[in-house]
């Protein structure tokens, strides 16, 4: 009981409950512990993966509390093995921490791991999980995945959005140029969030997340969405105590944000319908996701695509793309500025390829082999989604000599796998050269390198995100020289991580740009 009290005290502000409410909670927990133990006893006949010693009711929470769960789980897996069972309160979870076990899970037994746990925030923000990422495995998911892969996220469709990437990068470059004339440093982290959000928002909704004057209705809602989506919900760890999230006001805050978001999406969809009705629709090569989905609905290509499903897909694309893209860009620039020789080499390649042209085009990007290696190495060392998106077993599965019960949550620690010395030499170091003349890629065939996951539940937006990352990086390296602010040296640069939808820097990256003249 002491660890539970400790857990509550450490999270007192976040839980925001009175001592009376906490006491009531503890009493109910004690009463339900007997039922929980009876349920757990039914699993004793199974050959389960090894597990750290757990406590009644709270499971392994006392061992998992900490700022960075992926690091904590890596430490535990070194002791208990690449398949490890932990208990987040009442919710058992399988932790996969080796490339071999990831391959067995996502390739050999892929069909048994195709469900997703339905977290509280996903149910609220994604229309009861009718989106692609969190909807249960089945016919609806298969149709939805085909629709998204073929119609929204295909290579051809990603290429058609190049004009958006170019226009938004021009805005970003002009902002940085303006700062060069003023002197001093820029908050590059904030700028990268802005350009990533605007590209995603224009491609998905047909409008910018933030206008040049800094004002945007969607921008304000999106900020609340991204900050709240990663909220800690008691009901996700203790299903019997979802009411605690109601008492603390968390559910009310989430639903208030969702109400704003829903009204905004209704407005966007109606605007697109009016434009199409009045003959003001966009050209086929400049249609955004709303245009495409409405056309598919009119053509009867996906009968189950009602208005709420459509909005769930739109939010799925935004939540899954904008934050992870800006965070990857942030880590790319962080690692380069920390390693000046690598920064110089990457810039030399970009400037040699582009020459004296006034604009970088997609053909130039394909020739930038070293820049691509820099991005790969950043994705390896700084996995922005270190535990990927959780899965859930659809059936009992035998894997690695163990029996995994149905409805068990599963998290693949890609962060640990991509730093495994069994597969990577000097795994803690940033060495882009390791990918030169190396066939290892992040497309789901090499399980020691899976920043986008693998198998049928792998990230379908990989091509979309990488296109943004490559184009923004190339422009940052071409147009500007970069250095750290006065008084900060490479060895003193803060590299600590912070939680969110993606694992970003704990402090924004401030750099001093100098305009480069070709």
Residue 301 CB partners (closer than 8 Å, separation 6+) = 147
**Residue with tokens 């996701």, as numbered in its chain:** 289
- Tell me which residue of 376, 414, 410, 442 sits closest to 503, measured CA to CA: 414
**CATH number where 193 lies:** 1.10.630.10
* Confidence (pLDDT) at 24: 61
Q: How far is CA 474 from CA 66, 326, 368, in A?
A: 36, 14, 9
Per-residue pLDDT at 7: 40
Radius of gyration, alpha carbons of the chain = 24
Q: Of 141, 293, 278, whose CA–CA distance to 204 is shortest? A: 293
Which residue range is the domain that position 458 belongs to? 2-515
Cβ(289)–Cβ(160) below 8 Å: no
Question: What angle separates helix 340-354 from helix 369-381, to the nearest 10 degrees?
Answer: 140
pLDDT for the residue numbered 209:
86
In the chain, how many H helices and how many E strands?
22, 11
8 Å CB contact between 379 and 25: no
Among 332, 382, 329, which Cα is nearest to 498's?
382
- One-character DSSP codes across 131-183: STTTSPSSHHHHHHHHHIIIIISSHHHHHHTHHHHHHHHHHHHHHHHHHHHH-
Per-residue pLDDT of the chain (518 residues; tens, 9 = 90+): 434 434 433 444 444 555 555 566 566 666 555 555 555 455 557 899 999 999 998 999 999 877 899 999 999 999 999 999 999 998 899 999 999 999 999 999 999 999 999 999 999 999 999 999 999 999 999 999 998 999 899 999 999 999 999 999 999 999 999 988 888 899 999 999 999 999 999 999 998 887 655 566 787 888 888 889 988 899 999 988 999 999 999 999 999 999 999 999 999 999 999 988 877 777 777 899 999 999 888 887 777 788 999 999 999 998 888 889 999 999 999 999 999 999 999 999 999 999 999 999 999 999 999 999 999 999 999 999 999 999 999 999 999 999 999 999 999 999 999 999 999 999 999 999 999 999 999 999 999 999 999 999 999 999 999 999 999 999 999 999 999 999 899 999 999 999 888 899 999 999 999 998 87
Q: Are 371 and 348 in contact (CB under 8 A)?
A: no
462-479 vs 188-205: helix crossing angle, rounded to 10: 140
Amino acid 441: pLDDT: 94
| CA gap 408, 55 in Å, rounded | 19
Within 10 angstroms of residue 492's Cβ, the number of other Cβ atoms is: 8
Phi, psi of 154 (to 5 degrees): -70, 165
Q: How many domains, the chain?
A: 1
To which H or E segment does residue 197 belong?
Answer: helix 188-205
């Amino acid at each position: 009981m002491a660890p539970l009290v400790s857990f509550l005290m450490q999270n007192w502000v976040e839980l925001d409950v009175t001592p009376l409410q906490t006491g009531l909670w503890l009493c109910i927990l004690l009463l339900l512990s007997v039922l929980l133990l009876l349920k757990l006893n039914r699993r004793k006949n199974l050959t389960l993966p090894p597990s750290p010693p757990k406590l009644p009711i709270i499971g392994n929470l006392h061992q998992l509390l900490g700022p960075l769960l992926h690091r904590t789980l890596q430490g535990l897996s070194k002791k208990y093995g690449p398949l490890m069972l932990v208990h987040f309160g009442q919710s058992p979870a399988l932790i996969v921490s080796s490339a071999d076990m990831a391959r067995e899970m996502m390739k050999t037994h892929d069909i048994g791991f195709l469900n997703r746990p339905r977290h509280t925030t996903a149910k609220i923000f994604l229309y009861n999980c009718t989106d692609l990422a969190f909807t249960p495995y089945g016919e609806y998911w298969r149709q939805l995945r085909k629709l998204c892969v073929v119609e929204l996220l295909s290579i051809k469709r990603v290429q058609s959005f190049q004009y958006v990437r170019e226009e938004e990068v021009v805005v970003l470059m002009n902002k940085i140029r303006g700062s060069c004339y003023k002197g001093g440093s820029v908050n590059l982290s904030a700028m990268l969030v802005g350009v990533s959000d605007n590209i995603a928002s224009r491609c998905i909704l047909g409008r910018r997340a933030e206008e040049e004057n800094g004002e945007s209705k969607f921008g304000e809602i999106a900020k609340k969405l991204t900050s709240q989506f990663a909220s800690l919900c008691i009901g996700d760890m203790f299903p019997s105590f979802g009411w605690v999230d109601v008492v603390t006001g968390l559910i009310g805050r989430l639903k208030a944000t969702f109400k704003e978001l829903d009204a905004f999406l209704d407005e966007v969809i109606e605007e697109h319908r009016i434009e199409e009705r009045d003959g003001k629709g966009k050209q086929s090569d400049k249609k955004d996701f709303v245009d495409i989905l409405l056309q598919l609905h009119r053509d009867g290509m996906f009968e189950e695509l009602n208005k709420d499903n459509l909005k769930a897909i739109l939010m799925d694309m935004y939540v899954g793309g904008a934050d992870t893209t800006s965070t990857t860009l942030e880590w790319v620039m962080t690692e380069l500025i920390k390693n000046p020789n690598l920064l110089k080499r990457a810039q030399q390649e970009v400037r040699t390829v582009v020459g004296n042209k006034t604009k970088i085009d997609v053909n130039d990007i394909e020739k930038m082999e070293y820049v691509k290696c820099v991005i790969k190495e950043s994705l390896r060392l700084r996995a922005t989604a270190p535990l990927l998106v959780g899965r859930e077993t659809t059936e009992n599965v035998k894997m690695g000599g163990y029996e995994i019960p149905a409805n068990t949550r599963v998290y693949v620690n890609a962060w640990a796998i991509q730093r495994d010395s069994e597969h990577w030499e000097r795994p803690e170091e940033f060495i882009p050269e390791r990918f030169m003349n190396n066939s290892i890629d992040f497309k789901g065939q090499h399980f020691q390198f899976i920043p986008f996951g693998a198998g049928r539940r792998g990230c379908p937006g990989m091509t979309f995100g990488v296109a943004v990352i490559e184009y923004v990086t190339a422009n940052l390296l071409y147009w500007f020289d970069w250095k750290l602010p006065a008084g900060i040296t490479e060895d003193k640069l803060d590299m600590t991580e912070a939680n969110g939808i993606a694992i970003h820097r704990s402090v924004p990256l401030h750099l001093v740009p100098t305009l480069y003249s070709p």
